Amino acid sequence: IRLLRKMYDVKGIVTYADDGVGHVGTIYKASGFEYKGLTAVKSDFWIDGKIQQRGQTKGMNGEWKLRSRKHLFIKDFR
């Protein structure tokens, strides 16, 4: 973070910890980031084991799967 701030005029940092793999953001808390809660519930459209990144999903043979929620942390330098 110090190197990043030396190189750029950083106003803040936004980061996430993935609840789906058991991360809770311990390192972010210890580094002074402010916890903002969990992200909204979202789902992705999957076709043949891959996420459909963009485009139409209507009429396609796939399925909607819930995405793991993320813990949101912010460090404000202003």
Convert the pLDDT of each residue in 21-74 to its tens digit. Answer: 999 999 999 999 999 999 999 999 999 888 887 777 877 889 999 999 999 999
Task: Flag whether pLDDT at 18 surpasses 80.
Answer: yes
CB of 39 within 8 A of CB of 64?
A: no
DSSP per-residue string spanning the chain: -HHHHHHS---EEEEEEEGGGT---HHHHHTTPEEEEEPPP-EEEEETTEE--SS--TT-S-EEEEPPPEEEEEEE--
pLDDT at 48: 86
Rounded CA separation 76/10 (Å): 9
